[in-house]
């Protein structure tokens, strides 16, 4: 019996010892699993983040580009105290950072410290080289974690922190070029387009694939490139090439900046479009901003008003109304129209002209911009012809220019065209709204044999391996028979030779166009403020350009008329096109 009890006691004791040992084993595993062991990692990975594509002018200048930013991280526990001064001096020399600030950052914390967040690519390259030298010269020493007893050496690391978008041309080409906002993606600062070209071509400009290299590391944390290392190729976003020349754009911007001041205008807008292709050579506004440093005062200038703001265009609509009459065989250019001395009662209103003609030919109604004449001619169009004709010219629809947030303007419903009063007011540019770009696109029909083209400002995109991809296969739509378009073109030339656009003349070039001086509507009726415009064309023997000028709310007394504001600007733009070699006047023989 005693032997049996003794045996049980021994077994129980042995079981207890084994159980205690097992509990100690589990406890040890749990302890080591919970604490920061800081085991050295024999693998290392480096990421070379892909960049956003560039935006490049037609004459090869970068108007938007990206630069990489890096941050410098040092583990202060790895710096040999006896060589701290050497580290601070060398790092400050390479980075350009203040010595006192670097020393303060290192002294304030034990562990990983970020010395700088905004190191450019050139400095990053030099600092990476410095880090390797510091390892070799023993500036960094091994540190043993007192908890884990594991030794490690990290030292100085230069890692990418993101990208910064920069605009070398500063205010030039804004607001068309647009701007970006910063976003955080996987702890990396990236940018995203908000307005303009940056926004419209976001899916083309955005980076595609980062380059990743991974493998075993050496003592200085550099990857050992051998058969076991793995790498992928970096693919940046597409470069976007504009149809706009930076030089011509700058020339025109300087011109309209001066006119804005002289005319005391709210804004001056100019566009030059190649009549046979739709390519925009210049789209300039006097209201610009620096995309690198947008201030609160710049907020009103961030929108591309040439496509985002609709207004009543005024008398520049008269040639469009007249072309619809010709198309429907409702008028002969030589028909006589009674003008009644420049006064005509329409409903409860008296419509007046600036000239007191008694009679004008139908085409001279356009040449001399007679409101009285056009409101009578407009009555010849039936509602469907008028309404659909305006739609065919692109009004109340997007121009499809490659810019975001385009306004479509407004043509009221078809039944409104049954009203004689409404038909008359639309005939000379009131009662409907349009954007500057819609009017430019419509006028291009007269200079392109009656065919309509979509305007565009980006000609092609290009990958980093040099492959080019065209973005525009511009299909033409016939709006007018060629005979009608040519006839209106001649009337617009006559308007410059003998009518309201005489100040646009340029010897040796074919110049045509139409003025528009439009009252601006306010609460309770029309105000004493105006938008003045001139849309037309300038052609030589080989080249043809459609040009639009809009002066918004000129404040200088007596200069609200288009003939004294928009027309001289048009003429000066034509002069710049000649000086820059886009047009070659025919020299007459003496």
75, β-bridge pairs:
112
The confidence band for 162, taking pLDDT boundaries of 50, 70 and 90, is: confident
Write out the residue limits of the CATH 3.90.1310.10 domain(s) in the chain: 54-217
C-alpha span between 292 and 166 (Å, rounded): 6
Q: What is the DSSP string of 74-86?
A: EEGGGB-GGGHHH
pLDDT (mean) for 99-107: 89
Question: How far is residue 529 from each of residues 257, 346, 519, measured CA to CA in Å?
Answer: 20, 23, 6
226-248 residues labelled b (16+ CB within 10 A) or e (exposed) = eeeeeeeebbbbbbbbbbbbbeb
From 372, 367, 395, select the one nearest 499 (Cα to Cα). 367
Choice between 356 and 450, residue whose per-residue pLDDT is larger = 450
279, β-bridge pairs:
456
The confidence band for 523, taking pLDDT boundaries of 50, 70 and 90, is: confident
Question: How far is residue 467 from each of residues 49, 202, 533, measured CA to CA in Å?
Answer: 21, 19, 41
| Per-residue pLDDT, 570 | 98
Question: How far is residue 35 from each of residues 43, 148, 152, measured CA to CA in Å?
Answer: 21, 8, 16
| Per-residue pLDDT, 119 | 85
Superfamily (CATH) of domain 246-289+305-459+476-579: DD-peptidase/beta-lactamase superfamily (3.40.710.10)
Write out the residue limits of the CATH 3.40.710.10 domain(s) in the chain: 246-289+305-459+476-579
Tokens of 177: 């070029």
**358, 339 contact by CB (below 8 A):** yes
| Per-residue pLDDT, 148 | 74
The confidence band for 536, taking pLDDT boundaries of 50, 70 and 90, is: very high
C-alpha span between 525 and 463 (Å, rounded): 54
CA angle 471, 473, 474 (to 5 degrees): 120
Superfamily (CATH) of domain 54-217: Penicillin-binding protein 2a (Domain 2) (3.90.1310.10)
82-107 residues labelled b (16+ CB within 10 A) or e (exposed) = ebeeebbebbbebbebeeeebbebbe
Burial degree of 175 (CB within 10 A; 0-12, 13-18, 19+): buried
Between the ranges 126-130, 274-278, 474-478, where is the mean pLDDT highest?
274-278
C-alpha span between 152 and 137 (Å, rounded): 17
Show Cβ contacts of residue 39 under 8 Å, excluding neighbours closer than 6 positions: 148, 150
Model confidence, pTM: 0.84
Tokens of 107: 């002294």
Q: Is residue 32 predicted with pLDDT exceeding 70?
A: no
C-alpha span between 181 and 148 (Å, rounded): 44
pLDDT (mean) for 68-76: 88
The confidence band for 36, taking pLDDT boundaries of 50, 70 and 90, is: very low
C-alpha span between 551 and 518 (Å, rounded): 11
pLDDT (mean) for 300-321: 96
Q: Give 231-256 pLDDT, tens digit per residue.
A: 677 788 999 999 999 999 999 999 99
| Per-residue pLDDT, 373 | 95
491, β-bridge pairs:
none
pLDDT (mean) for 12-32: 73
- Report DSSP state, residue 217: B
Q: Is residue 38 predicted with pLDDT exceeding 50?
A: no
Q: What is the DSSP string of 558-578?
A: T--SGGGTHHHHHHHHHHHHH
């Amino acid at each position: 019996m005693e032997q049996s009890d003794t045996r049980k006691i021994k077994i129980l004791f042995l079981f207890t010892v084994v159980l205690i040992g097992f509990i100690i084993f589990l406890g040890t595993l749990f302890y080591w699993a919970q604490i920061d062991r800081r085991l050295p990692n024999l693998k290392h990975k480096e990421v070379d983040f892909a960049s956003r594509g560039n935006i490049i002018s037609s004459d090869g200048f970068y108007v938007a580009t990206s630069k990489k930013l890096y941050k410098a991280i040092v583990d202060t526990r790895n710096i040999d105290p006896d060589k701290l001064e050497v580290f601070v001096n060398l790092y400050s020399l390479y980075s350009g950072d203040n010595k006192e600030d670097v020393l303060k950052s290192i002294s304030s914390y034990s562990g990983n410290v970020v010395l700088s967040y905004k190191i450019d690519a050139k400095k990053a390259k030099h600092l990476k080289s410095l880090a390797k030298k510091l390892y070799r010269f023993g500036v960094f020493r091994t540190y043993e974690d007192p908890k884990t007893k594991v030794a490690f050496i990290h030292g100085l690391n230069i890692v990418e922190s993101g990208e910064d978008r920069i605009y070398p041309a500063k205010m030039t080409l804004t607001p068309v070029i647009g701007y970006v906002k910063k976003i955080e993606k996987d702890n990396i600062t990236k940018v995203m387009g908000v307005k303009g070209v940056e926004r419209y071509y976001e899916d083309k400009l955005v980076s595609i694939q980062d380059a990743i290299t991974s493998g075993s590391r050496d003592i200085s944390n550099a990857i050992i490139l051998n058969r076991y290392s793995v790498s992928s190729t970096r693919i940046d976003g597409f470069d976007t090439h504009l149809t706009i020349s930076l030089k011509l754009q700058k020339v025109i911007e300087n011109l309209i900046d001066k006119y804005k001041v002289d005319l005391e205008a709210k804004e001056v807008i100019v566009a030059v479009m190649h009549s046979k292709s739709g390519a925009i050579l210049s789209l300039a506004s006097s209201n610009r901003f620096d995309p690198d440093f947008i201030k609160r005062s710049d907020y009103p200038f961030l929108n591309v008003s040439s496509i985002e703001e609709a207004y009543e265009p005024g008398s520049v609509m008269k040639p469009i109304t007249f072309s619809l009459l010709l198309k429907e065989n409702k008028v002969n250019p030589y028909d006589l129209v009674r003008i009644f001395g420049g006064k005509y009662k329409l409903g409860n209103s008296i419509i007046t002209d600036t000239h007191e003609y008694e009679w004008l030919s139908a085409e001279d109604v356009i040449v001399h911009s007679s409101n009285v004449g056009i409101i009578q001619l407009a009555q010849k169009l039936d509602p469907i012809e008028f309404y659909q004709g305006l739609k065919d010219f692109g009004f109340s629809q997007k121009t499809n220019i490659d810019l975001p947030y385009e306004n479509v303007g407004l043509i009221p419903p078809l039944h409104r065209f049954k009203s004689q009063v409404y038909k008359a007011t639309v005939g000379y540019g009131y009662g409907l709204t349009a954007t500057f770009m819609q009017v430019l696109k419509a006028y291009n029909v007269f200079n392109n044999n009656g065919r309509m083209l979509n305007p565009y400002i980006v000609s092609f995109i290009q990958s980093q391996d040099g492959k080019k991809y065209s973005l525009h296969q511009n299909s033409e739509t016939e709006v007018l028979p060629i005979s009608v378009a040519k006839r209106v073109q001649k009337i617009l030339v006559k308007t410059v030779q003998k009518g309201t656009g005489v100040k646009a003349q340029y010897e040796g070039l074919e110049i045509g166009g139409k003025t528009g001086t439009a009252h601006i509507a306010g609460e309770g009726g029309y105000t004493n403020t105006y938008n003045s415009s001139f849309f037309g064309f300038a052609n030589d023997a080989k080249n043809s350009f459609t040009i639009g000028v809009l002066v918004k709310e000129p404040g200088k007394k007596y200069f609200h008329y288009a003939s004294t504001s928009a027309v001289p600007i048009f003429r000066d733009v034509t002069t710049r096109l000649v000086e820059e070699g886009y047009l070659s006047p025919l020299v007459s023989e003496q």
